[in-house]
Amino acid sequence: MFNYITRRLLQIPVVLFVLSLIIMGLMQLLSPEQRAAAFVTSDKQIENLDLIIEKYHLREGFVVQYKLWAGEVLRGNLGFSRISKEPVLTTIRKRFPASMELALAAFVPIVLVGVWLGTQAATHRDSLLDQLLRVVAIVGWSLPTFVVAIWLVAWIYGGLGWFGIGRLPSSLLIELAGGDFKKYTGLFTIDGLLNGRLDITLEALKRLVLPAAALVIVVSAGIMRVMRSSMLDELGKDYVRTARAKGLAEKTVVYKHARRNALIPVITMAGPMLGRMIGGIVVIELIFNFPGLGEWAAKAALQLDVTTLLAFVMLIGLIMAVANLLVDIAYVVVDPRIRYE
Amino acid sequence: MHDDLDTREREPWYRSKTFKRFRRNPLAIVGAVMLLGFVVVALFAPAITAPQLAESRTARPCLRDLGVKRTEVVSALRNPLNKIFWKAVLTPPESCYSIPRASYSPLPKPPSEKHPLGLSGNSYDILYGLVWGTRTAFYVGFLVVGISLMIGIVMGGMAGFVGGWVDNFIMRVTDVMLSFPGLVFVMIVASIFGSGLTQVMLALAVIGWAGYARLFRGDILKTKAQDFVDAARALGASPLRIFWKHVFPNAIGTLVILASMDIGSVVLSAAGLSFLGLGAPVGYADWGQMTSFARGYILGTAQGSPFDFWYVWIYPSLMIVLFVLAWNLLGDAVRDALDPKS
């Protein structure tokens, strides 16, 4: 197990290397001036683009350029983001917790709802409930996230005035910027508790409800379908018949025996999903005015801020690799029979 | 001996068990009927929107390219005996895809007799955008799936048939592509190539092939292991002949059906990107771009009256949902018919 994890950890740099090759390759399609922006670290330097092009040999071939870029990155200089007007790393440090908080707030209900509905559909196979859930799943699957988000914002926030958008009301944000509120994790819900400021936790939670709900409506359908079919698979197996034959209660058979085994494909699906969410749910963050990584990247894409996008891709690559590793570890926790050599 | 084999006809596809399972699924029928509706709307877009074309000044380029006078538009575009009718249906000029504007007023106007679904911000006619947007949706869906399917077939075919390090290399590339969130890749490609509908479609196609390549490779390996392939090899057929005559036709069917069911989700991604502002330019008949007007008219209006301009965003977003739903209903039924166990 330990060896396996080490090996997987060593693979992460390789994945990042391949990704950076692809992105740098794509960047060769840009003009030297556009690429020079990747090395700019302050607003003033933007005026001296010619000097930068000279200094970093941007008119030279791909290999020279890649070496230079990789050298900068290894030294911890990911570049300067035109969108946030500060070094990329500073922005990532600021925005990562926001995306993390939103991702967790949506992920937990998505998995719980998906697994629960999937189990119900499987145990009531071909009944009215199963058919109904099937239609619900197809409809949910067909709803674009941005459409659900707009409908929720219009109807619940705009119409009824419930919950809220953004991360915190601006009055609280101003207070936090100046006050002695300590940032332990960067997640306002948890920091609020740790600082003994329940009002902050509540306000932050209130503002997570709508974006999380939008994601639950769209994404849990997929988890539910996977759960249903893998649950049906398990319920048809011999050990389930044995368990029933020895007189175990139906509840024990379904929830203790079959469901645990049925969770494996769900984990396979849910892990990368969480990774993708932490990387920012672009559309949701934009519509709910949530200052996370996705919103930043979307603005960068619209204004051709290549430095920001490059750093964003590397970050996503890292997050996805870690998420996949966590999935492998989760298999062992759920099913102790799985061993890695 | 050959004649013997040829007289034993194959079972026609419409009598196969798979198709029967598909036909008996009520959801499949609902999906098919919805889709048929969209096809009709897309085909007869010029006829449906003829009054709007006649009305607006900004529709002049479209009329000029069609070669029709303003006064004759309605009668020409609604008469199947007229040549212009067929020209507009089959090869409408690009200029007809920009939504005509009733005026230059920035404020939306509610539905009226002249503009049955109202005018969105900057007076774009909503009905026109929705109807011609159906064409855009089909166009985007078919083109993107078509291109990525072709790349997928070439890559998957090479991986499955050549094997060895080629297989290994292609599969590792698909690993990276499948584990990386597609939207992010498309955002980057679109920002490097510049935003626009063509760029977004290219980006989506370049991202989408990995799944098809894997599926096709698997099907090829399965087919390759069957006896008739061994028999062909024993008879001395060349590897290329084996591939084209025996493996390819047997492996391709399921792939094409499954891929065509992705058209809905491709349109969904394209709409999302258009919504972000990376896709079609403002004023182009595209549902995602039209929905993006919502951002101004929901968040911008006063608290408590978010539905003042409901027609601006409810209609286009409903079109996207119904279009994707139609494809997904069909797709679900198809997958069920192909794999009755699930």
CA A70/CA A51 separation, integer angstroms: 20
Confidence of residue B40 (pLDDT cuts 50, 70, 90): very high
Amino acid, res. B271: A
Joined together, the tokens standing for residue A134 give 């099937």
What pLDDT shows up at residue B1?
43
CA B34/CA A111 separation, integer angstroms: 31
In this complex, do B191 and A229 lie within 8 Å of one another by their Cβ atoms?
A: no
In this complex, do B176 and A18 lie within 8 Å of one another by their Cβ atoms?
A: yes
> By the CB < 8 Å criterion, does B267 face chain A?
no
**Strands, DSSP E only, in chain A?**
80-81, 86-87
Confidence of residue B35 (pLDDT cuts 50, 70, 90): very high
Stated pTM of the model: 0.85
Q: Considering only CA atoms, which of A230, A272, A271, A280 is closest in space to residue A92?
A: A280
Joined together, the tokens standing for residue A212 give 């999380």
Q: What angle do CA A270, A310, A268 make, to 5 degrees?
A: 10
The separation between the first and the last C-alpha atoms of chain B, rounded to the nearest angstrom, is 41
Contacts of B54 (CB under 8 A, 6+ apart): B70, B71, B73, B74
In this complex, do B183 and A282 lie within 8 Å of one another by their Cβ atoms?
A: yes
> By the CB < 8 Å criterion, does B189 face chain A?
yes
Of B181, B298, B324, the CB nearest to A142: B324
Q: Does residue A76 or residue A248 have the better pLDDT?
A: A248
Which residue in the block uniquely carries the two structure tokens 């297989």?
Answer: B167
Q: Which helix (H) or strand (E) holds B42?
A: helix B26-43
Q: ipTM value of the model?
A: 0.80
Least Cα separation, residue A82 to chain B (angstroms)? 14
Q: Considering only CA atoms, which of A10, A99, A145, A168 is closest in space to residue A312?
A: A99
Angle formed by the axes of helices A306-334 and B164-179, to 10°? 100
Mean pLDDT score of chain A: 83
CA A264/CA A330 separation, integer angstroms: 9
Mutate to test the interface with A, among B173, B192, B321 (most CBs of A within 10 A): B192
* Closest B-chain CA to A218: B321
SS3 A65: helix
The number of C-alpha atoms within 13 Å of B327 and in the hemisphere containing its C-beta is 26
Distances from the Cα of A279 to the Cα of A171, A286, B105, B129, angstroms: 28, 14, 40, 34
Mean pLDDT in residue range A309-330: 84
| Contacting residues of B for A279, CB less than 8 Å apart | 181, 184
CA B306/CA B301 separation, integer angstroms: 6
Range 221-240 of A in CB contact (< 8 A) with B: 229, 232
| Residue pair B219/A314 in contact by the 8 Å Cβ criterion | no
Q: What is the tens place of the pLDDT at every residue in B261-310?
A: 888 888 988 888 888 888 888 888 899 888 887 776 665 554 556 667 77
Task: Say if residue B53's pLDDT is above 90.
Answer: no
| Contacting residues of B for A296, CB less than 8 Å apart | none
How many helices and strands in chain A, by DSSP H and E? 16, 2
> By the CB < 8 Å criterion, does A282 face chain B?
yes
Of B180, B271, B332, the CB nearest to A317: B180
Range 67-106 of B in CB contact (< 8 A) with A: none
In this complex, do A301 and B188 lie within 8 Å of one another by their Cβ atoms?
A: yes
In this complex, do B301 and A158 lie within 8 Å of one another by their Cβ atoms?
A: yes
Contacts of B285 (CB under 8 A, 6+ apart): B97, B98, B99, B128, B129, B131, B132, B133, B135, B136
In this complex, do B191 and A304 lie within 8 Å of one another by their Cβ atoms?
A: yes
Distances from the Cα of A270 to the Cα of A97, A194, B193, angstroms: 20, 29, 32
Q: What is the tens place of the pLDDT at every residue in A199-251?
A: 888 888 888 999 999 999 988 988 998 899 899 989 989 999 999 999 999 88
- Rounded to the nearest 10°, the torsion over CA A289, A292, A294, A300 is 90
- Rounded to the nearest 10°, the torsion over CA B262, B268, B273, B275 is 170
Least Cα separation, residue B310 to chain A (angstroms)? 9
